């Protein structure tokens, strides 16, 4: 039986409500059977690296999506190690699930850089590229982008969350409660190491 599968990758350093809203809107509007959250081992454009170790980032994703039966944690990029390239992940998924229709879900920021991605021209051949944007915001123009998903704008970024933690400010209502507790319990983002 074939299905419609969303692939939502990223650093998730940490995962926040903006990510979850985008994924849920994509799931609903594209009628996806599941959305696979794929944390990167190491993103090629993050030369300074990630602040939280890959296993911490994966665990925060697991906690954040635990109550949504349509969301799945996919550890393939972390297990593969090294720099994570979306084209490799899509090829693997296509080989594993040849009958499924794949949708690559991107935020507007990621979509703006799509032309710089490794083998960018291959991405639309492997999956339908769908960009999540805020109502009233113009979607980024670019080759390979097939669909635009309108989602409520939640103006939050992982960078701001890390800065808030370092400064001792609250991140409540920016991340799921379980993620907030995990960050505190493991002392993540305190020093920027």
Determine, yes or no, domain membership for 192: no
Q: Domain containing 82: what range?
A: 4-154
pLDDT tens digit string along 131-185? Answer: 998 766 677 766 688 888 988 878 889 999 999 999 999 999 999 999 999 999 9
Is the pLDDT confidence value at 193 over 50? no
Determine, yes or no, domain membership for 176: no
Mean pLDDT of the chain: 92
Q: How far apart are CA 190 and CA 188, in angstroms?
A: 6
Looking at the 3D structure of the chain, how many domains does it have?
1
Determine, yes or no, domain membership for 171: no
Mean pLDDT of 10-21: 96
Nearest one of 170, 188, 177, 155 to 57, comparing CA atoms: 188
Mean pLDDT of 99-105: 97
106 membership: H or E segment, kind and range:
strand 101-107
Nearest one of 186, 178, 180 to 63, comparing CA atoms: 178
pTM: 0.93
pLDDT for residue 143: 65
């Amino acid at each position: 039986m074939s299905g419609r599968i969303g692939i939502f990758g990223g650093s998730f350093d940490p995962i926040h409500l903006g990510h979850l809203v985008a994924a849920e809107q994509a799931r609903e509007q594209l009628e996806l059977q599941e959305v696979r959250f794929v944390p990167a081992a190491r993103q090629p454009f993050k030369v300074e690296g990630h602040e939280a170790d890959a296993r911490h980032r994966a665990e925060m994703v697991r906690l954040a999506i635990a109550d949504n039966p349509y969301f799945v944690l996919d550890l393939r990029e972390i297990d593969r190690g090294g720099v994570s390239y979306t084209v490799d992940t899509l090829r693997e998924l296509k080989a594993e699930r040849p009958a499924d229709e794949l949708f690559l879900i991107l935020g507007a920021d990621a979509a703006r850089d799509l032309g710089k991605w490794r083998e960018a021209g291959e991405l639309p051949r492997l999956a339908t590229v769908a960009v999540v944007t805020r109502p009233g915001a113009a979607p980024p123009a670019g080759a390979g982008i097939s669909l635009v998903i309108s989602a409520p704008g939640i103006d939050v970024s992982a960078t701001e969350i890390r800065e808030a933690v370092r400064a001792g400010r609250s991140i409540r209502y920016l991340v799921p409660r379980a993620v907030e507790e995990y960050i505190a319990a493991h002392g993540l983002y305190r020093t920027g190491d």
